[in-house]
Every structure is written in structure tokens, then in C-alpha cells.
Structure 1
């Protein structure tokens, strides 16, 4: 009967560790979203097409984990953000 207790304990540890890992992952994703939302809100505050600006800024922020300061320019602060191009070879990030 003791081997069953050991197996049950092992299965419980494996399941609980996978649950904790998935919880930690969702927490870090939500932190990134909050960071990107606030930074992109500032970046796109003066944009003519705010929804489009915030959409692409959010995509770039999630990939690069940074957003240049100000509402325009300053892309040298974030090289990854600056180097992202769309399918037509033009800058993807606002």
C-alpha cells in the first residue's frame, strides 16, 4: 500500500507545479499588457487613427518590450521597435 501513496504524492507534485507555472506565465503576460497599454496610450495620444496606432504599437511593444518616449520620433531609444518592418518594407511601429 505504501507504493500507492508515493505515486499519489508524485502525481500531486507534478500537477501542482504545472499549475503554478501556468499561473506565473499569465501573470507576466498581463504585466506586459499593462506596460504596453500605458506606453502606447502616451505614444498614440496625438495620432489621427488612434485605434490603429495603439494596435500596432501594442504588437511592437509585446515583441520588443519597449516603446520610445514621446508621441513621435525617438525610435533610436528602442532599436527593435525601430527595425520592425511591414510586408511593404515600411516601418511597422508608430
Structure 2
């Protein structure tokens, strides 16, 4: 019985650590993609904030520093409360 409990605990620990790595990889993806996207922005902190929000929801960021929003329709179609594009 103790062996079964030990094995179950080890399996849970391994699965939990792999989930943590995947969640950290997602934020790393957004951080690196948004850093490129906002590299030429006039107000970088605002650009990075909204790019990060859009990336987390859409799981993609268009390439380059401007335009190319057709690469990511979710990113392109997200609107703010005034009906304008939310994502940089």
C-alpha cells in the first residue's frame, strides 16, 4: 500500500511540474513576441501591456513591428470599449 501511495505521489509531482513548465513557456512566448512587436513603439510599456493581453487571449502575435495582422485574425479583430483595435 505504501508503494502504491509513493508511486501516485511521484506521478502527481511529475505531472504538476510539466504543467508548470508549459504555463511558463506560454508567457515566455508572449514576452519574446511582444518585445519584437513593440521594439519600435513610441510608448513601449503600453504597447507591451496590450500586446501581452492580446497574445494571452489569442495565442499568437503578428510578425514584424507593424501591420501583418492578417496572420492572426483573433489579434486583429479584438476591440477596445470604443470599438477600435485593441492590439498593437
TM normalised by structure 1 equals 0.80
Q: Which residue does 1:62 correspond to in 2?
A: 56
Task: List alignment gaps of at least 5 residues for structure 1.
Answer: 1-6
Question: Once superposed, what is the RMSD of the aligned Cα atoms?
Answer: 1.5
1:48 and 2:42 correspond: yes
Q: Among residues 54, 73, 76, which one is paired with 1:82 in the alignment?
A: 76
Q: Give SS of 1:63's match.
A: helix
Q: Give SS of 2:82's match.
A: coil
Q: Map Cα deviations across residues 42-63 of structure 1 (whole Å, 9 max, x no partner).
A: 1111111101111111121122
Distance change in 2, residues 1:68/1:20 (3 Å): same
TM normalised by structure 2 equals 0.84
How many aligned positions are there?
88
Rg (Cα) greater in structure: 1
Instruction: State the distance in 2 between where 1:8 and 1:90 align.
Output: 60
